């Protein structure tokens, strides 16, 4: 009896362990994918991808990030900020049709994803100032 109980306990511990890892890899949370995308993205009324990417790089540098890598074709920029903490961010810029571009950012603070819409709002408002353009909420 004791043995069966032990095996059952071990099995459930392993089961729980697996679920947690999968959950972490897929970042399964209370938010839906759409909710996340909405606060992580903005639309800019310009088709100049290079200008937006350069402004993104300059904004990240202003914010104290050191650029890790940038890719014009993929339209991505990644950076890391080291203070008493670590923030990592990846920004992607892609065409949205009708001369518009969609900018999306996702960031992590130490070992947690940043899920506060206000932080993303701050980032886009910093980017707006660098671009002299207004950011619109994604459709």
Smallest distance from other proteins to CB 42, Å? 13
Task: Please identify, using beta-carbon distances, which residue of 14 and 72 lies nearer to other proteins.
Answer: 72
Does residue 27 bind other proteins (CB under 8 A)?
no
- Check if the beta carbon of residue 99 is closer than 8 Å to that of residue 47: yes
> Which range touches other proteins (CB under 8 A), out of 10-18, 21-29, 36-44, 72-80?
72-80
Does residue 66 bind other proteins (CB under 8 A)?
yes
60 closest CA partner among 111, 98, 105: 105
The encoded tokens of residue 46 equal 């310009």
Smallest distance from other proteins to CB 57, Å? 6
The encoded tokens of residue 139 equal 């459709």
Kindly tell me which residue out of 54, 96, 100, 136 binds other proteins, with binding defined by CB under 8 A: 54
Task: Please identify, using beta-carbon distances, which residue of 22 and 121 lies nearer to other proteins.
Answer: 121
- 131 burial type by CB count under 10 A (0-12 exposed, 13-18 middle, 19+ buried): buried
Q: What Å distances lie between residue 85 and 69, 89, 109, CA to CA?
A: 20, 13, 7
Q: Kindly report the number of other CB atoms within 10 A of residue 79's CB atom.
A: 23
Q: Which residues within the stretch 100-139 sit at the binding site for other proteins (CB under 8 A)?
A: 109-110, 114, 116, 119-120, 122-123, 125-126, 129, 132
């Amino acid at each position: 009896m004791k043995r069966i109980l032990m095996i059952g306990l071990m099995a459930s511990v392993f089961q729980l362990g697996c679920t947690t890892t999968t959950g972490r890899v897929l970042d399964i949370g209370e938010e839906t994918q759409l909710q996340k995308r909405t606060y992580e993205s903005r639309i800019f009324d310009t088709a100049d991808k290079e200008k937006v990417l350069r402004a993104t790089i300059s904004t990240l540098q202003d914010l104290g990030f050191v650029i890790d890598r940038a890719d014009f074709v993929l339209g991505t920029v990644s950076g890391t900020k080291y203070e008493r903490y670590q923030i990592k961010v990846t920004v992607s810029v892609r065409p949205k049709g009708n001369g518009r571009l969609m900018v999306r950012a996702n960031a992590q603070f130490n070992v947690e994803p940043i899920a506060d819409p206000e932080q993303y709002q701050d980032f886009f408002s910093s980017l707006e100032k660098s671009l002299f353009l207004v950011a619109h909420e994604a459709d």
